[in-house]
Amino acid sequence: MHALDVLRSRGFIESTTHEEELASYLSSPGRYCYIGFDPTGSSLHVGHLVTVMALSHMQRCGHRPIALVGGGTGMIGDPSGKTEMRQLMTPEIVAENKAGLKGQLSSFLDFSDGKALLVDNADWLSGLHYIPFLRDVGSHFSVNRMIKAESYRARLESEEGLSFIEFNYMLLQAYDFYVLAEKYGCLLQMGGRDQWGNIVAGVELVRRKAQKTVFGITFPLIMTSSGIKMGKTHAGAVWLDPERTSPYDYYQFWVNTDDADVVRFLKLFTFLPMEEIEEASALSGRDLNGVKAVLAYEATAIVHGSEAAAQAHRAASAMFGGREVPEALFSSSQISRSTEVDGDGMPSTQIPIGELAVGISAVDLFCRVGLCASRGAARRLIEQGGAYVNGQRVEGLDAVVVASGSDASGLVLRSGKKHYHRIEAV
């Protein structure tokens, strides 16, 4: 399927430039397309997902994504759509954040054999000389037009104003597009809707400097049906970094999606085929609960892997009861269809008798059965004295659970007051 059709049908496209020429650019495989990420934080968050999912779809359609890390532009700070100037970051923080970003992008893109590229604009921006740059690039920009750009408007009207350093940002991003078009023949830049001004500035610059037509796509800003920016919660952003948002909390964020958003989010934030999503779109009310579990499982698996997603799903079932996922729906999803809650309502996990005889560290065991979402969480639970085995508090982080013979079949783990889990020795 044509990449543009995939993106459009799944709800990724708000605007494009040169619609027809863009479609023909993308009708041959192996086309480059790029999105830039400034290293303003060490982790991506749910608000970035639309952009990284779009790059991933491009790769799945046979194109070559370039993820550009803004080691250079990050030193300036994009004022687009921002009401306040950001604190200028030190080079050390930029470098640290860059490393975090690289790791996370690999969950979405396959960087092997040049199938996707990671570039850093510091490589060409840091060494620029002011006078030649102004003559070469600055001469193509009209200040009259720049100050009309939607992305600068809020700042021009605000009391804080727009500093000169930020005013230059548009030129740098435009120059990036020029560099990538010349170096790789990358003719497409994508970005959030606040990037429209910067992208169009690049399109213009490449037209003037290289006499080439290049293209832009912007994504819509995703709002939840309750009217807040997708990915923001009262507790702040939802991060992809498991140290900041545990896989369990990440799963919980998705499973709590409003009914009205489930189908739209399945299209945007999972790779499940459209036909399977359409089939579920008629469901409503309680029937949607299982569908939300599929959304949560899939979204968590993309970022944290299917093992962590399965664990979060189990842990959530243990705490809130299983959510039935109809057998006939979502045949591509690996989510477990069993709700894994046995007769007395206590969830259980099978563990080989041999392993129990040798002993399993309590930290590992609490994670393995899903009572804790991560080793960090298990350690905290034990430290706080909230972990129990057969009613006995687990003392210390190096506690080992050993059981053999009839003891092994009667093990019950407990986290806090209410969350029980039975071990089935097999």
Residue 195 among the catalytic residues: no
Q: Shortest gap between Cβ of 261 and ligand TYR (angstroms)?
A: 24
- Residue from 313, 257, 301 nearest 108 by CA: 301
Nearer to ligand TYR among residue 70 and residue 322 (C-beta): 70
Least distance to ligand TYR, CB of residue 78, Å: 4
Residue 231, token pair as written in the block: 């990915």
Considering the candidates 83, 90, 233, 334, report the single residue annotated as catalytic: 233
The answer to whether 175 is annotated as binding is no
Rounded to a whole number of angstroms, the minimum distance from the CB of residue 253 to ligand TYR is: 22
Is 414 annotated as catalytic?
no
Question: Which three-class secondary structure state does DSSP give residue 35?
Answer: strand
- Residue 173 annotated in ligand binding: yes
| Residue 292 labeled ligand binder | no
Site string for ligand TYR, 54-93 (x = CB under 6 A): --------------x-x--x----x---------------
The verdict on whether 232 is a catalytic residue reads: yes
Element (H or E) spanning 360, and its range? strand 360-361
Find out whether 353 and 425 touch, Cβ atoms under 8 Å: yes
Query: Closer CB to ligand TYR, residue 191 or residue 231?
Result: 191
Tokens encoding 135: 């003559």
In this structure, are residues 401 and 365 in contact, taking their beta carbons and an 8 Å threshold?
A: yes
Residue list 136-175, contact with ligand TYR (CB under 6 A): 173
Q: Is 60 a catalytic residue?
A: no
Q: Is 63 a catalytic residue?
A: no
Tokens of 300: 């968590």
Nearer to ligand TYR by Cβ, of 17 and 317: the residue is: 17
- For every residue of 291-345, DSSP letters joined together read HHHHHHHHHHHHHH-HHHHHHHHHHHHHHH------TTS-TT-----S--B-TTS
d(CA 157, CA 331): 52
Residue 233 annotated to the active site: yes
Beta strands in 210-275 (DSSP E): 215-219, 232-233, 236-237
- Candidates 35-43, 100-108, 357-365, 374-382 — which segment interacts with ligand TYR by CB under 6 A? 35-43
Smallest distance, ligand TYR to C-beta of residue 198, A: 6
Is 169 labeled as ligand-binding?
yes
Pairing of strands 188-192, 215-219: parallel
Known binding-site residues for L-tyrosine equal 34, 169, 173
Residues that bind ligand TYR (CB under 6 A): 36-38, 68, 70, 73, 78, 121, 173, 176, 191, 195, 198
